[in-house]
């Protein structure tokens, strides 16, 4: 049996005094909420909130449902999964196979490298693949690995050094999907980007996701590894991871359209998340020419040129006799016989400073005007200096041999 003293009794009595009113207040509050809540939700009192509908999609609005004008379905994760699932079969592995040994060992072949590719077309029983020039460079044979690991031998229709693009053709019997080309000109910095490829030649169908980090980036290209830039590639920058073996793979937008061909990354210890892709709008005409002609028909002048900034300043005046107002240009080292330049009277050690009135500061400037603005058969006006005298010549551009 338990006993209570005076203090215990008083405590129990005080608890009963406040407990009953508190319980009554809670019950009244719950009733008020239950009665008023439906009317509150129908009003505009509450701020816009995110809820989840029965299909699992995130929805934005005031709770009125999918028929309301404020209703918006947003499910980026599900959309990404659906897109990747639909386009991944169009991304393939590309294996560069080269012969090993001398004349007596011609039968020995080895995998010299690997990369990725994108099936962009299927017609007449054949399938066509875009990849990078550097992926198939020097190949004696090329094999394409489909998404189900089937290997198909492919033919190199054409390859181009300056654009770093190549086109392959193979039997299309086992090809299930092709990828639609999108529009790279309209992409916006910050929009989602998905890279799909074959990193390290072992993980076909690998997916990385990021955003478009920049447009119209220019990256110097040194083709002969002499320490001097021969070209500047204009590329899309992305932070979607691009690893060795991803070259030639697809950079797609959230709608599953091809917006770029993954090409390179900055490979420095202190750098992370800087990859580049060839814009599909720039690639499309190159691909068409490679498919049709096996090469890109570019106009040529018939000169071997070097940037003036490669020459010591002392030689600008002493050997080339240039006036002080010349700040840059290209000098002609040799002229091919019977070429457009030869017919126009261009000579060795002439210094070209302008083409069609546009300044030429180096070799890249000249090539960009020639390759991007001119066609075979076009006339070209050249401003140059010879022995300190400014002169002009006009030539008709021929096809590059």
SS3 363: helix
pLDDT digits (tens, 9 = 90+) for 306-356: 999 888 888 888 889 999 899 999 999 999 999 999 999 999 999 999 999
Pick the CATH number of 192-293 from 2.40.160.60, 2.40.10.10, 2.60.40.1180, 3.40.50.2300: 2.40.10.10
In the structure, what pLDDT confidence band is assigned to residue 272 with cuts at 50, 70 and 90?
A: low
CATH number corresponding to 299-399: 2.30.42.10
CATH class of 86-171: mainly beta
Distance between CA 148 and CA 154 in Å, rounded?
17
Are residues 156 and 96 in contact, defined by beta-carbon separation less than 8 angstroms?
Answer: no
Contacts of 347 (CB under 8 A, 6+ apart): 332, 335, 386
Share of the chain above pLDDT 90, in %: 57
Q: Which of 168, 192, 172, 207 is nearest to 86 (CA)?
A: 207
Contacts of 246 (CB under 8 A, 6+ apart): 115, 116, 195, 197, 198, 199, 206, 262, 275
Residue 266 DSSP label: -
Q: What is the pTM of this model?
A: 0.73
Alpha carbon distances (Å) from 375 to 151, 166, 297, 319, 367 = 39, 21, 8, 34, 12
Distance between CA 217 and CA 264 in Å, rounded?
12
Residue 96 pLDDT > 70, yes or no?
yes
Domain boundaries, the chain: 6-77, 86-171, 192-293, 299-399
How many other C-beta atoms can be found within 10 angstroms of the C-beta atom of residue 344?
19
Are residues 378 and 399 in contact, defined by beta-carbon separation less than 8 angstroms?
Answer: no
Strand partners, 218: 234
Task: Output the pLDDT for position 264.
Answer: 80
> Matching CATH topology for 86-171 and 299-399?
no
Instruction: List, by residue number, the catalytic residues.
Output: 134, 164, 247
How many other C-beta atoms can be found within 10 angstroms of the C-beta atom of residue 317?
13
Distance between CA 82 and CA 394 in Å, rounded?
56
257-285: average pLDDT: 84
Q: What angle do CA 98, 101, 107 make, to 5 degrees?
A: 65
Alpha carbon distances (Å) from 213 to 101, 218, 256, 280 = 45, 13, 18, 16
Out of 25-29, 136-140, 184-188, 248-252, least confident range: 25-29
In the structure, what pLDDT confidence band is assigned to residue 273 with cuts at 50, 70 and 90?
A: confident
């Amino acid at each position: 049996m338990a006993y209570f003293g005076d203090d215990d009794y008083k405590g129990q009595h005080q608890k009963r005094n406040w407990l009953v009113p508190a319980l009554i207040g809670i019950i009244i509050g719950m009733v008020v909420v239950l009665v008023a809540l439906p009317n509150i939700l129908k009003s505009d009192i509450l701020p816009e909130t995110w809820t989840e509908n029965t299909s699992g999609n995130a929805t934005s609005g005031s709770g009125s449902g999918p028929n309301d004008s404020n209703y918006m379905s947003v499910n980026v994760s599900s959309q990404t999964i659906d897109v990747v699932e639909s386009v991944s079969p169009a991304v393939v592995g590309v294996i560069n196979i080269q012969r090993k040994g001398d004349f007596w060992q011609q039968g020995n072949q080895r995998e010299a490298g690997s990369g990725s590719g994108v099936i962009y077309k299927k017609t007449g029983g054949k399938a066509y693949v875009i990849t990078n020039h550097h992926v198939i460079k020097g190949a004696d044979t090329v094999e394409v690995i489909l998404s189900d690991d089937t290997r198909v031998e492919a033919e190199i229709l054409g390859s181009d050094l300056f654009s770093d693009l190549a086109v392959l053709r193979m039997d299309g019997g086992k090809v299930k999907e092709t990828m639609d080309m999108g529009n790279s000109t309209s992409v916006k910095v910050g929009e989602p980007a998905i890279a799909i490829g074959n990193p390290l030649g072992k993980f076909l169908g690998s997916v990385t996701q990021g955003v478009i980090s920049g447009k119209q980036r220019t990256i110097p290209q040194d083709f002969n590894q002499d320490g001097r830039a021969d070209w500047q590639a204009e590329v899309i920058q992305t932070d979607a991871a691009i690893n060795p073996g991803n070259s030639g793979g697809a950079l797609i937008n959230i709608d599953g359209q091809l917006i770029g061909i993954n090409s390179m990354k900055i490979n420095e210890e202190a750098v992370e998340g800087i990859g580049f892709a060839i814009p599909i709008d720039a690639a499309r005409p190159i691909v068409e020419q490679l498919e049709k002609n096996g090469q890109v028909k570019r106009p040529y002048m018939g000169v071997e040129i070097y940037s003036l900034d490669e020459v010591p300043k002392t030689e600008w005046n002493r050997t080339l006799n240039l006036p002080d107002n010349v700040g840059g240009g290209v000098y002609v080292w040799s002229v091919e016989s019977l070429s457009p330049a030869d017919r126009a009277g261009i000579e060795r050690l002439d210094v070209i400073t302008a083409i069609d009135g546009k300044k030429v500061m180096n070799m890249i400037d000249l090539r960009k005007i020639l390759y991007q603005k001119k066609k075979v058969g076009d006339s070209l006006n050249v401003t140059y200096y010879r022995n300190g005298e400014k002169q002009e010549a006009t030539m008709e551009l021929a096809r590059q041999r």
